[in-house]
Amino acid sequence: MYQRGIEFNQQKGGWIEVVCGPMFSGKTEELIRRMRRAQIAGQKVEIFKPVSDVRYDNQEVVSHDKNSIPSTPIENSSNMLLLVNEVQVVGIDEAQFFDDGIIEVANAIANQGKRVVIAGLDKDFKGRPFGPMPDLLATAEYVTKLHAICRRTGGPAHFSFRIVEGDQTFLLGEQNEYEPVSRLVYNELNKTKSGH
């Protein structure tokens, strides 16, 4: 099949999928689900996570629900290029913690005809675009935005409110560090925190 003079083969064309949302929205769970489905389809997969992500396990990608899948922790995104030669599907968890080179790396892997599935926080605890995620979202062919549940309103939660003190952007979190909240609750909590 040809498209504007370029050979187009659905089986060999690569692409990028990004799964994003706040804390506790099921991003890692969705990444694991997509990787397992690829394995069921007989595809060879490789999953990467930042070496700094040691919340549940040093080697595996683990969701908050304790589902897990083997992964390769890496320091620098460029290391992925050395480890994907024989694979068809590449998974990347906690992409917001990788260096900005991950955008070029993800594109290079997709350009090799591979499917790249990326999961990460789209916003930090201050509600700002997080690390390389905005560029990954703009580059991706497919974007899935998940929402957590705001326990205070019962509605969708779009923000990750940090419960503990501190201003550093990099803070791996659990339920005692972050709370998923709606926009209204997020704004109210920030007003209370700042004393306004």
Dihedrals phi, psi of 156, to nearest 5 degrees: -65, 140
Q: Quick one: pLDDT at residue 155?
A: 95
Asked if residue 136 belongs to a domain, the reply is yes
Dihedrals phi, psi of 112, to nearest 5 degrees: -80, 0
Provide the token pair at 188. 């109210």
Type and span of the H or E element at 139 = helix 133-139
Active-site annotation, residues: 94
CA distances from 161 to 30, 114, 129, 165, 184 (A): 22, 35, 14, 11, 12
What letter would DSSP give residue 43? -
State the residue range of the domain holding 79.
Answer: 12-146
pLDDT at 139 over 60: yes
Cα torsion angle, 91, 32, 35, 130, sign: negative
Asked if residue 99 belongs to a domain, the reply is yes
Expressed in percent and rounded to 5, the helix, strand and coil fractions of the chain are: 25, 30, 45
Asked if residue 20 belongs to a domain, the reply is yes
pLDDT at 128 over 70: yes
Asked if residue 76 belongs to a domain, the reply is yes
Instruction: Output the domain CATH number for residue 44.
Output: 3.40.50.300
Asked if residue 177 belongs to a domain, the reply is no
Quick: pLDDT tens for 52-85.
765 555 555 666 666 778 889 999 999 999 999 9
Asked if residue 152 belongs to a domain, the reply is no
Rounded distance between C-alpha atoms, residue 32 and residue 34, angstroms: 6
Report percent pLDDT > 70 for the chain.
80
Quick: pLDDT tens for 7-28.
444 456 899 999 999 999 999 9
- CB count within 10 Å of CB 123 equals 18
Are the CB atoms for 28 and 62 separated by under 8 Å? yes
Q: How many distinct structural domains can be found in the chain?
A: 1
In this structure, which amino acid lies at residue 196? H
Asked if residue 171 belongs to a domain, the reply is no
Residue among 147, 145, 136 at smallest CA distance from 186: 147
Rounded distance between C-alpha atoms, residue 97 and residue 54, angstroms: 13
- Token look-up 């779009």 returns 158
Question: pTM of the entire structure?
Answer: 0.84
Q: How many residues does the chain have?
A: 196
Asked if residue 17 belongs to a domain, the reply is yes
